[in-house]
Amino acid sequence: MKRIKLDAIDSTNDYLKSLCFSQTLENFTIVTAQYQLNGKGQMGAKWDSESSKNLITSILIKNTLQSSNEIFDLNVVVTLAVVSALKKYKIPNLSIKWPNDIMADNKKIGGILIENTFKSNSEIISIVGIGLNVNQTNFDNLPNASSLKIEMNSDFDIEKLLANIIEDIKINVSVLKSGLVENLWLQYNKKLFMKGVNTSFATATGEIFSGIIQGVSPFGQLIVLLNNQTVKYFRIKEIQMLY
């Protein structure tokens, strides 16, 4: 397994992606950085992280997804791996906020950005970016953010944490490859933040509505029971949960 340790970089995802195009890399090549100048979050957001305090990593996963229909399976594999690795540290009330935020109680402690490239030979190459708030305690202007240190009142070894996460990702990737991804989906749907609870959402055009989360569809849509008793499927860009 190849490991690249960087001090500072624009974005570990971008770095690994361009490396991938200039040379053949081993599956599970891992890039970590102490600091990102232009860390990327979901939907064009920024991912800020204090230097040396958090886990900032990108992992190359290839030869795993067979078709574009399976894209969300990798979200399930990775979010569950992060949650199961964190469970070993007894972090309380872990859940997954759709599509792939890692929550402790009602605070976000980590996020995942998976970027897939479809090659002409139908191979899918995935860059799995994980940002986990570990030993940072100050989150100015981010009232919904937390970290492992805030939750547990102690410092964490970031390298050990990474090793645990990689181990669990590998286990889940082999579950996916052996055709048993349904088991992971069951766990993912069980761990969904605000499932079964009346929740408010905003549409991309700013409309507010409420409904009860039922689960996530195999294509990654959020399934919501609306107040008029109809069930609607929402894609990632269509709605944002307000909580």
Q: Which residues bind ligand BTN (CB under 6 A)?
A: 11-13, 36, 39-42, 45, 47, 56-58, 101, 111-113, 129-131
How near is the Cβ of 16 to ligand BTN at its closest, in Å?
Answer: 8
Residue 36 or 164 having the CB closest to ligand BTN: 36
* C-beta closer to ligand BTN: residue 11 or 95: 11
- Rg (alpha carbons) of the chain, rounded to whole number: 18
Smallest distance, ligand BTN to C-beta of residue 90, A: 23
Q: Which is closer to ligand BTN, CB of 65 or CB of 134?
A: 134
Name which of 60, 218, 222, 241 is nearest 144 in CA terms.
Answer: 241
CA distance 150 to 131: 16
C-beta closer to ligand BTN: residue 10 or 182: 10
Q: Which of the 8 DSSP states describes residue 12? A: H
H or E segment at 223? strand 222-226
Query: How far apart are the C-alpha atoms of 107 and 235, rounded to whole Å?
Result: 23
Minimum separation from the CB atom of position 10 to ligand BTN (A): 8
The minimum distance between CB 143 and ligand BTN, in angstroms, equals: 16
State the minimum distance, in angstroms, from the CB of residue 126 to ligand BTN.
13
Residue number of the CB closest to ligand BTN reads 111
CB of 227 to ligand BTN, least distance (A): 29
Tell me how far CA of residue 78 lies from CA of 71, 204, 242, in angstroms: 12, 27, 24
Phi, psi of 105 (to 5 degrees): 55, -130
Output the DSSP codes for 31-75.
Answer: EEEEEESS-B-GGG-B----TTTSEEEEEEE-S---SGGGHHHHH
Nearer of residues 131 and 211 to ligand BTN, judged by Cβ: 131
Shorter beta-carbon distance to ligand BTN: residue 36 or 126: 36
What is the helix (H) or strand (E) element at residue 177, kind and residue range? Answer: helix 158-177
